[in-house]
Amino acid sequence: MLVLLPLLLLAPLGAIACLVPALAARAGRIATMVTAAAFALALVLAARVLAGGPVAGANLWLRADALSALVTLVVTAIAAACAWYGEYYMPVVLAREREQDRWPAGRYEALYLALVAGMLLGALANNLGLLWIAIEGATLASALLVGYYRRPGAVEAGWKYLLLCSVGIALALLATVLLYYSAVHVLGDGSRGLHWSVLRDVAGSLDPRFVKLAFLFALAGYGAKAGLAPMHSWLPDAYSQAPTPVAALMSTGLLATSLTGLLRFHAVTAACVGHEWSSGLLVSFGVLSMLVATPFLLVQGEYKRLLAYSSIEHTGILTFAIGVGTPLAVFGGLLHLFVQSFAKSLAFLVGGSIARGAASRRMDQWSGVLEASPALGTLLVGAGLGLVGLPPAATFLSEWLSLAGAFASPHRGAAVAAVVALVIVFAGLTFHWGRMVLGRARPRFTDLLPAASHAPLWALLAALVLLGFWLPAPLRALLDRAVEVLS
């Protein structure tokens, strides 16, 4: 509790601080400090979880198990990196917006921190209702951020995001209600009927018909939030229109949080009606997401949309791997959840710098990045390696561990489909990356951001590569524990 409360309070307090006019000018720095502090706390939390098992608080409304700790690590790490980068990025961007379109200073950071707060609450909530509220809150904050720029595209994307995710999240609420109903019957006491840890313990005696129905709605609801096909359609629009740091955070932290929501339902369902039923659904939706994303990746002209589809594909891998359910696959899936965040956020952020430098978001305007700016070019290549899952990026190991686990399960056909999708995606992404990285530098390309803005990017890349060679023992232990949580 001593860790949980500060962790949850830091971000909202930071958000309020950003809105204070006196501090608004330095809101960027505040956001960085707050998220960095949150990251430190997340490390402490992970250590506590490793040392003494789940950390609970607030009468079991909050509870951090290994999975929460893992997601918290992802959220805070990426949030810190994105905030750090945003310090350099947002001023440059805003300087180019029209005067009347600008938001008051500090507003962006406040929303950003609100989003972080929502995600952290979602990660740490033990009560499924609370989880729902957190994710809905994060959705609302991020909807404003998606529509942050006052251009028609941003409005359109924000609208679609808000509407689709609201429907999705409403379905998730229905799922929560259904689960609660079945729990109340068993427990007789409504106060604990939404506590996940309690639900899982009594899962065996829940009414399977309601649990199944709940899982279906949760799958559609949280699945829409996580970007599973065919509920994914908001994702390319939102990611391409949101400010780059926000897109990076959404595609990693928000994805992880929403997926955790789904996985919590999955764990209860599996414990209630047996593993095969819900895992079959997860595997099918995972593979479907991979297959749906693939063609879009091949014929895509815009960088951030490309990343969005790649994000769908990665969500597919994750869902697939965790759905398969063998310990190795789940380990691979969770590791993938962890490491793909570094790759994806890196890809978004470096893309932001390049898009500003090239004054275009279209990839055909980006040729010769490596020549124009060796640093950005190298980072871009690193991000690409992470996205396609090639060594030395850690995603290579996580993907193949997942597949190795999948081949040892009954879902071999799905695994083959996944491999096929991965291979085609590889061809598509390599093609785009080749066009961007190689070739003659554009004459007017200049990196508008200060060189210091590369620091967070290098940090992400370093983490991505380092994890490809060496998984620290505590992280390994944390992943192992998280696997236990899910099985």
Partner 1 sequence: MVLAGLESALLAGSVWALVAAFLLPAIAALVPAAPAALRHAVPRALAAAACALAAVLGGVQLAGSSGALLAWWPGLPSEPFTLAADALSAPFVLLFGLVGAASFAAHAPSGTPAGAAARLALHAGFALCLLCVFLSRHALLFLFCWEGMTLLSAALVAHDLRSARGRTATYVYLALSHRGAAFVAYALVTLASHAGSFQFGALAEAFSRLEPHARESLAWCFTIGFAVKLGLVPAHVWLPLAHPEAPAPVSAMLSGVMVKAGLYGMLRFAWQMPGAPPEQWGTVLLVLGVASALTGALYAAVESDAKKLLACSTIKHAGVLALATGLAALLAANGQREIAGVALAGALYHAIGHGLAKALAFLAVGEAVHAAGTRHLESLGGIARRMPRVSFAALVSTLALCGLPPFSCFAGEWLVFQALILGFSAGAGQLRLLAPFAGAGLALAGALAVAALVKLYGIGFLGRPRTEPAAAAHDAAPRTAAAILAFAALPFAWGVGAPLLAGALAAPLAVLLPGFEAAQLSEHAGFVLVPAGLQSSRIAPAVAALMLGAFAVLARVWLRARRGGAPGLRIAPSWACGAKLDARMQYSSLGFTKPLRLIFEPVLRGERELQVLEEGSPYFARKYRYRSGLPELVEKTLLAPLVQSVLWTSEQVRRLQTGSLHLYLAYLLATVVGLLLWAR
Partner 2 sequence: MNLQLPDWLPRSNTVNLLAGAFLLSALYAAAQRRTLAAITAYRFNSLALGGIALTVALATGTRHIALAALLVIAVKGGVIPSLLRKQALRGGGALETEPYFGVPAGMLVCGALVVIAFSQTRALFGSGVSILASCLPVSVATTLVGMFLMVSRKQALMQVVGLVILENAIFLAAVSLTYGMPLVVEMGVLLDLLVGVALLGLFVSRIEQTHGSGDTTKLSDLKG
Q: Is 213 in the site for partner 2 (CB under 8 A)?
A: yes
Q: Which CB atom, from 289 or from 340, has the smaller least distance to partner 2?
A: 289
Choose, by CB under 8 A, the member of 61, 103, 181, 426 that binds partner 1: 426
SS3 26: coil
Task: Name residues contacting partner 1, limited to 229-258 (CB under 8 A).
Answer: 230-231, 233-234, 236-237
Residue 129 contact partner, candidates partner 2, partner 1, none, CB within 5 to 8 A by sort of partner = partner 2
Q: Is 455 in the site for partner 1 (CB under 8 A)?
A: no
Residue 12 contact partner, candidates partner 2, partner 1, none, CB within 5 to 8 A by sort of partner = none
Task: Kindly state the smallest distance separating residue 207's Cβ from partner 2, in Å.
Answer: 8
Q: What is the secondary structure of 287-323 as a DSSP string?
A: HHHHHHHHHHHHT--BHHHHHHHHHHHHHHHHHHHHH
Q: Is 333 in the site for partner 2 (CB under 8 A)?
A: no
| Site track for partner 1 across 385-404, x = CB under 8 A | x----xxx---xx--xx-xx
Q: 338: closest CA among 175, 238, 182, 467?
A: 467
Torsion sign across C-alpha atoms 150, 151, 152, 153: negative
Residue 189 contact partner, candidates partner 1, partner 2, none, CB within 5 to 8 A by sort of partner = partner 2
Residue 92 contact partner, candidates partner 1, partner 2, none, CB within 5 to 8 A by sort of partner = none
Q: 319: closest CA among 401, 373, 369, 256?
A: 256
Task: Kindly state the smallest distance separating residue 311's Cβ from partner 2, in Å.
Answer: 16
The window from 68-76, 110-118, 155-163, 252-260 that contacts partner 1 (CB under 8 A) reads 155-163
What distance in Å separates the CA atoms of residue 386 and residue 388, rounded to the nearest whole number? Answer: 6
Both tokens assigned to 118: 């929502």
Q: 109: closest CA among 245, 258, 248, 250?
A: 245
Task: Name residues contacting partner 2, limited to 223-242 (CB under 8 A).
Answer: 236-237, 240-241
In eight-state DSSP terms, residue 409 is: S
| Site track for partner 2 across 172-211, x = CB under 8 A | -xx-xxx-xx--xx--xxxx-xx--------------xx-
Residues 89 and 126 sit within 8 Å (Cβ to Cβ): no
Both tokens assigned to 310: 């790649």
Q: 213: closest CA among 247, 236, 180?
A: 180
Burial track 315-326 (b if 16+ CB lie within 10 A, e otherwise): bbbbbbbbbbbb
Q: Please, what is the end-to-end C-alpha distance for the chain in angstroms?
A: 26
**Radius of gyration over alpha carbons of the chain, in Å?**
21
Q: 324: closest CA among 264, 265, 278?
A: 278
Q: Which CB atom, from 219 or from 343, has the smaller least distance to partner 2?
A: 219
Residues at the interface with partner 2 (CB under 8 A) = 127, 129-130, 132-133, 136-137, 140, 143-144, 147, 150-153, 155-160, 162-163, 166-167, 170-171, 173-174, 176-178, 180-181, 184-185, 188-191, 193-194, 209-210, 213, 236-237, 240-241, 296, 299-301, 305
Residues at the interface with partner 1 (CB under 8 A) = 159-160, 163-164, 167-168, 171, 212-213, 216-217, 219-220, 224, 230-231, 233-234, 236-237, 281, 292, 294-296, 298-299, 327-328, 331, 368, 370-371, 374, 385, 390-392, 396-397, 400-401, 403-405, 407-408, 416, 419, 422-424, 426-427, 430-431, 434-435, 437-440, 469-473, 475-476, 480
